[in-house]
Structure 1
């Protein structure tokens, strides 16, 4: 496809951009600001001035927009709609727009006589610029100029512009790439060289083709991963000795050493003094030294581009991974390799299981609108996941209408248990307030202990989660919330850490000993209580009743329990067991609250 060159009144007021293919369906808005292609230097160009429509055979249709204040001139006349071909131009205000063909990569110059010179990039870093003031001034503007580009297309436009401005003797600049070899063995057998793609090209010439790109130089640069210079030693009378143009005596190519720019290089070509053959020969001999500053500057530009694209690549990758990994996992991945971060390993974890209450009932009622039910469930689960992530936890898994989160991996968290209880408190508060939970309630279990966390699974499916008895315990505690009639239950390990934490302000009480399903030993359970429920005196009364209950003094326990509000389900659970056995502990009783 051809390029469109915009040239304003000043030499720096310019850009060159590739016109989209006519088959792409893309149309371009030309304007001063806020358009697809902006001409910020020309006040006579309206905010949205013209529409550019690519046509077949490298033609371009131009339509003046109704909102444009000033005329568009084509072939000396005002026109509202016309077609330009390569070599043709139109004018808006003080800016001339010229459609030109983009030169390709030339193989013909490969066979001509040339001298090759390699620059060591480590040695270039040690050398000082001869004209340090002007170089430093441009380098100071380089980061903002390049990093403010919002797309790769804009980045390449700015890079070629910077290099043309910074290299006075350059006649053309290109950003090029060597195509990947899909089948290196077949490539070697057929002796086919990889194709050269010109990602962007700019030259000082307007209205005619500039120098082509030497494919041989580009391939040599990418292969050796060093900046290379080619000097053509023939006479200008024989244009075949140059890069298909009498304006090029030399060309250098600088590789971009980054995975984000694999196979990319910056190509700069230009001319030398040619007053006489002897002068040209001397210039050719001195060229490697004379061009050293230009190569060094181009190396710095290449490094800036590489770092920027690498940074953007990581940002895109993190953005994509954000749907799969918690922020704390992404933080670890930013400084360590994925294999190291995600490898399964033992860690001290606090695990939270949160289950929806009322799911079965709503499933039955909503059977005629399953998509609506799915939306409500997704919103309700979203409340869980949001608070787990906000408290710097990891979403371990979803189990139908339940979610599992954990703390303490991939980075150690001394306050993992506190964070887990904080997340549970926030989830419970949102569910009680009815905040985007679709009419559901919740039950939450939290356990702390040793587990394996990381990338766990089979050869067929892998996910990041946690595994071990503590995970099973958290799930069993969540199920026990139904029996106790409470919303959040903690195990003893979590309770011990949270109650001893100076940053903890949670209201906790012991519920008694229980043997969770699948476990053989009884363990104490604790409730994360709601503020404003039982008074401190009532909680103290319940705890005393629980101690008498476990001591077998059931009559004393019953007397205290009957004084507590009937809405307190844990108290009612103890009363129910006492009355079941007529106030006397059975001989086989092992002091558990729930049989």
Structure 2
């Protein structure tokens, strides 16, 4: 693997980055700002100055942007496009860019003349710096450097730069990790034999061959979770196997003790002559104070990076979870152990399925407006999810152009039924606004259906903590899905099951959403048949539609329509429908036909039941129990 080093006129104006693998086909945009790799210190470099591409023959191609103001120099000449190899360089403005080899990790056997010192991190932290002011100043700037790093690559670049600047004796710094990838060929090997991966490497000079990293030293520090310093005789440096480059006679490795940097370590190598000659063959000798200071500084940098990266990881996790959980749930997660809060368990849930209808057909009819149709589906799913979250629910899953949400987990919600009903009304209102607008723009209107069922189910997190996916499963979930499908057959927008309807119509169901829920008198003597909930614009009406057996279910269920009072039948028509339904279930189809015929011109459910009776020959079949057996729509 090859690296590119950028070096400005001052020592601190530099970085070293790994060039992409040739097989990836990735190109790097080089510039002063808004590029993949930025060189902010050189005003002679344009914001987007040149493209860099690595070829399969390992040559690195540089192509100058036609809008770049200043030329690129290669081998002393202006060259807008050229190829170079390891050891060569090019110049833009006052910055030199050099292609160098990235060293590997050495597995050579150790030398006999090596002294190893192991440091517990608690002991290191109690140690006082001799040059505390300069070290503290560097550490104080580290949080800003880390938090402003948008990618791990940028984080590693800045981290190694800080260590090189703050460790004058260091000739090279690397961030290493055990290659513990479950998908790799090493997944069945003991951790003590796992390869050491060099995540990032930087050195003080432009040497063609840099000092290799000791894989044994790295593994030792990572496995023991202790900082390890090794010093060897300058006479044995070419045989030591720890660092195979003359003039480098010590190295230490500091593990990063955080789940966010699992298996990571800081590796630093340098020359003891800078600190004063130290003979490792003297078993009573202790490493120079300055070298131990460098070790302590690397320990503090590693601890700070690990903690800040862990914080960023938690922030990203919370941001991703906000897509699924309402603020009230996020508050609960913040105050409790997330693993315990999110564990799968049985709970009383209200489950909602909401589906857009007609997308497939409309996409065929409106092929010239396919992008607009896709945008509308995306917006409509956004309407569904916002309503679920606004009402304190959890986003369970997406199925094409349908969304599933539920209430009652991970925290219990005594008013989960009212919340689900309120979300259904909010979805209906917002989708009506969207479809009216889209109908004016591209000449079509989507319909939708909502199904809500209430009962016991198992809900919980599936997968890893980093990839949060929550869902609910059980008969009530299947029923909610079936109810959503029945809205099309009965020609209504929202169908709920009996437990949901009963909870909404109970007189003690108060104060559910923003204190707006109040129970009014039912519009029928049959409390189980119809009722009104709410006041003003939030008034909702429930009415019993039928006793049905949806496809795939064994037992029949009573289903109810949930609608706004402004959209429902009149009180008199409601009474007529209930009279017809009771006669239909009891088998008196003459009375049922007369009742449904009175309101069929303005009521789709009445039309549905009249059609069913017509298919049955105008009289109930033998053994009639009042149940409509329905096929899956």
Structure 1 residues 20, 33: closer, same or farther in 2, change over 3 A?
Answer: same
Query: Is the Cα–Cα contact under 8 Å of residues 90 and 98 in structure 1 kept in the other structure?
Result: yes
Q: Once structures 1 and 2 are overlaid, which stretch shifts more, 114-123 or 131-140? A: 131-140
Aligned pair count reads 557
CA distance in 2, matches of 1:9, 1:321: 46
Residue aligning to 1:147 = 147
5+ residue gaps, structure 1:
457-461, 553-560, 577-591
SS for the counterpart of 2:231 is strand
Structure 1 residues 3, 417: closer, same or farther in 2, change over 3 A?
Answer: same
Query: Is the Cα–Cα contact under 8 Å of residues 98 and 207 in structure 1 kept in the other structure?
Result: no
Aligned pair partner of 1:492 in 496, 499, 502 = 502
1:277 shift after superposition:
6.1
Query: Is the Cα–Cα contact under 8 Å of residues 73 and 92 in structure 2 kept in the other structure?
Result: yes
Residue aligning to 1:387 = 384
Residue aligning to 2:116 = 116
CA distance in 2, matches of 1:162, 1:469: 57
Q: Once structures 1 and 2 are overlaid, which stretch shifts more, 406-415 or 36-45? A: 406-415
Structure 1 residues 274, 326: closer, same or farther in 2, change over 3 A?
Answer: closer
Residue aligning to 1:508 = 540
Residue aligning to 1:439 = 445
Asked if residue 341 in structure 1 is aligned to residue 342 in structure 2, the reply is yes
Q: How is 1:13-162 mapped onto 2 (pairs within 5 angstroms)?
A: 13-55=13-55, 58-108=58-108, 110-162=110-162
CA distance in 2, matches of 1:396, 1:280: 62
1:77 shift after superposition:
3.9
CA distance in 2, matches of 1:402, 1:49: 46
Query: Is the Cα–Cα contact under 8 Å of residues 275 and 290 in structure 2 kept in the other structure?
Result: no
1:203 shift after superposition:
1.4
Deviations 1:499-540 (A, max 9, x none): 554234521345469656589999895743254878xxx75x
CA distance in 1, matches of 2:127, 2:410: 44
Query: Is the Cα–Cα contact under 8 Å of residues 101 and 210 in structure 2 kept in the other structure?
Result: no
SS for the counterpart of 2:34 is coil
Asked if residue 172 in structure 1 is aligned to residue 172 in structure 2, the reply is yes
1:304 shift after superposition:
3.8
Structure 1 residues 6, 550: closer, same or farther in 2, change over 3 A?
Answer: closer
TM-score by length of 1: 0.74
Structure 1 residues 73, 111: closer, same or farther in 2, change over 3 A?
Answer: same
1:172 shift after superposition:
1.1
Aligned pair partner of 1:464 in 440, 447, 471 = 471
CA distance in 1, matches of 2:89, 2:363: 65
Query: Is the Cα–Cα contact under 8 Å of residues 448 and 493 in structure 1 kept in the other structure?
Result: no
Residue aligning to 1:579 = none
Structure 1 residues 83, 129: closer, same or farther in 2, change over 3 A?
Answer: same
Query: Is the Cα–Cα contact under 8 Å of residues 20 and 26 in structure 1 kept in the other structure?
Result: yes
CA distance in 1, matches of 2:374, 2:48: 46
CA distance in 1, matches of 2:487, 2:7: 75
Residue aligning to 2:325 = 327
SS for the counterpart of 1:244 is coil
CA distance in 2, matches of 1:229, 1:97: 33
Query: Is the Cα–Cα contact under 8 Å of residues 272 and 280 in structure 1 kept in the other structure?
Result: no
Residue aligning to 1:199 = 199
5+ residue gaps, structure 2:
463-468, 518-534, 584-594, 611-625, 629-633
Residue aligning to 2:226 = 226
Asked if residue 410 in structure 1 is aligned to residue 410 in structure 2, the reply is yes
1:7 shift after superposition:
1.4
Query: Is the Cα–Cα contact under 8 Å of residues 4 and 100 in structure 1 kept in the other structure?
Result: yes
SS for the counterpart of 2:273 is coil
CA distance in 2, matches of 1:551, 1:275: 97
Query: Is the Cα–Cα contact under 8 Å of residues 177 and 196 in structure 1 kept in the other structure?
Result: yes
Structure 1 residues 279, 466: closer, same or farther in 2, change over 3 A?
Answer: closer
Deviations 1:266-314 (A, max 9, x none): 1111222379868999999342643333223222322344345556666
Structure 1 residues 409, 169: closer, same or farther in 2, change over 3 A?
Answer: same
1:446 shift after superposition:
3.7
1:492 shift after superposition:
1.9
CA distance in 2, matches of 1:90, 1:480: 69
Structure 1 residues 571, 515: closer, same or farther in 2, change over 3 A?
Answer: closer
Deviations 1:448-507 (A, max 9, x none): 444443479xxxxx9932434697489559848976967566602023366554234521
Query: Is the Cα–Cα contact under 8 Å of residues 251 and 270 in structure 1 kept in the other structure?
Result: yes
Residue aligning to 2:465 = none
SS for the counterpart of 2:133 is helix
CA RMSD of aligned residues (A): 5.3
1:166 shift after superposition:
1.5
1:148 shift after superposition:
1.9
CA distance in 2, matches of 1:444, 1:377: 21
Residue aligning to 1:453 = 459
Query: Is the Cα–Cα contact under 8 Å of residues 258 and 306 in structure 2 kept in the other structure?
Result: yes
Query: Is the Cα–Cα contact under 8 Å of residues 113 and 280 in structure 2 kept in the other structure?
Result: no
Deviations 1:540-587 (A, max 9, x none): x778999999999xxxxxxxx9xx9998749989xx9xxxxxxxxxxx
Deviations 1:173-231 (A, max 9, x none): 1112233495687779xxx9543332221111234544332232112112212110001
Query: Is the Cα–Cα contact under 8 Å of residues 169 and 274 in structure 2 kept in the other structure?
Result: no
SS for the counterpart of 1:349 is strand
Structure 1 residues 320, 287: closer, same or farther in 2, change over 3 A?
Answer: same
Residue aligning to 1:589 = none
Query: Is the Cα–Cα contact under 8 Å of residues 171 and 247 in structure 1 kept in the other structure?
Result: no
Query: Is the Cα–Cα contact under 8 Å of residues 417 and 498 in structure 1 kept in the other structure?
Result: no
Structure 1 residues 566, 256: closer, same or farther in 2, change over 3 A?
Answer: same
Query: Is the Cα–Cα contact under 8 Å of residues 260 and 306 in structure 2 kept in the other structure?
Result: yes
